[in-house]
Structure 1
């Protein structure tokens, strides 16, 4: 079809350059991957320029193994090689849902090397216009970022267009956060045996506010009746007359915050362990003769009072340990101690407990506060459940089989 190094009249054109029978010119060389790479042009000069650029990119490692690889093709390879062998089944479902619904229909057929930051930003803006919120958009960005990071490692891409793409929605600041059942199980498997594990377990099984937990004493607990009575809260603030932040034992914030709540077996067992631990800590504390609140059940290792920052730091330590072995899209988000209260309420709603009863457990001043919480957590659960149903039904496989095997096909 062509003569290497010569044009159709037999004139030498240079190493690797030839003229095809259709009159066009081509230049070829063996790239760093051991593959023959070709460039084409209408003139010898054009081909020489393209060949010089291609060789320079090869030396600078700016070329890729397969320039025709599409995002959909890379996704399947990425899942098969990097995700399926090591990632949890639930996370695999999340990956597939995000990719197949929010990425593939828009840019799945594009070549990896043609996807730019502009294209990724345009995708996220389009999803925003369709009503997707920050969390869903962030999952798209995280998934694409990981896919392109791996593609760069394997020399299927030379840049990561997702890294510079900004989420078009602002991260919600006051989002009601509750742990899923799966995350709750993982969290407590990791926290088991740690110093604050009893505190975490009582929090998630009672729905107490952090200040109410910090103020608990043994006198507030009736293990026989399996009840906790809430009658005080511990604050760490600078109030009038204080020279700095200090601890204050205060009355509960509202009348409905005064309450007696039932406890389950898990809560009782955690309280029993903590009562024993508290006595040991109190006896061994270097401040045992100077403790302002010696009877507090939940304290630091030195038997000093807890505050919200200490609580959050203890939670974050567990989350960080969990995330060490998790995939980027599957990392557990950081949360405050109030998340355990919302998680308790969520488990109550999932169990079918009436909102009015949950209101009494939580000490909400109005039923509306409980209903707002109910609406928030249950709306998200409905979305997650529908995703799980879709993954379980798996009609895609049925549709594909029917399309390929149907005797009578409709136009």
Structure 2
């Protein structure tokens, strides 16, 4: 008979692990199953629950259960009769938009705190409001809490991640006109010069511009079709996903300067005949651009700027999107037009994220209103 760390005898099938928690083991149809708990009483209860589920065909094997699968089980078994139909629908929609394509295919036993934190960080980077991320955090917390209660996982990874605070949203950065000029001046020799130039002139998301193909450039209608976003899944590689929301699937006007940049990119790697299904921006061997490669090149350019004696803070590809929006507002673009170009799902999101303008523009606007007094 097993004993605990104090030498006390434990009930049959229960042992104490090195971390202090208890493990209960049972056999059913020649196969062993385990549950975990902080106390002997809870371990016994989980063992009884497990026996019931095994005998009635309700058991879900955690080692073979993905987050997508467990999310559906959690909703249908534990929440269906407790939540309103509209709430269930909202949960499914939010999960589909913000979680499914990122960590949904991972087994719940493999998901750690850093995976949840990376998810939150990516959502901030992709323009999701902090309030929306908090909803996802609540959904995941309930989902994993139930998995923990059922003995499917040993600890709830959601507790190990921090939801971004509201002040993070207000800290969004856009380059000033001077910073924009300096960066592009030093980026002239970069193989991603056209990439950064198009970002500044279109406000595309990082995944959208990396997923852009020559077939998306419609010179006849003078638009760029945004139909996909390029993503990467560990173990799966690169794959194309639909834009994050219905509003993200959009057409952006093709201006002459953007057309010149895209034409220049067409034969950048020396190809005489370019496959229109190829990504516009890719590596020299035609492979997709990774997020890390784009960020590395930004960091390299900024390092050169700093080495020249100029101060320049680190930025991410998303700063180019913020910068486009800020230049658009400074130039007098109407909010509804900006909303359509940016691919936001609501006007409130556009104004919330991009109504901030540069200090010199604020001063100019204040001078205009001064004549009213």
Q: TM-score, normalised by structure 2?
A: 0.49
Bigger CA radius of gyration: 1
* TM norm structure 1: 0.45
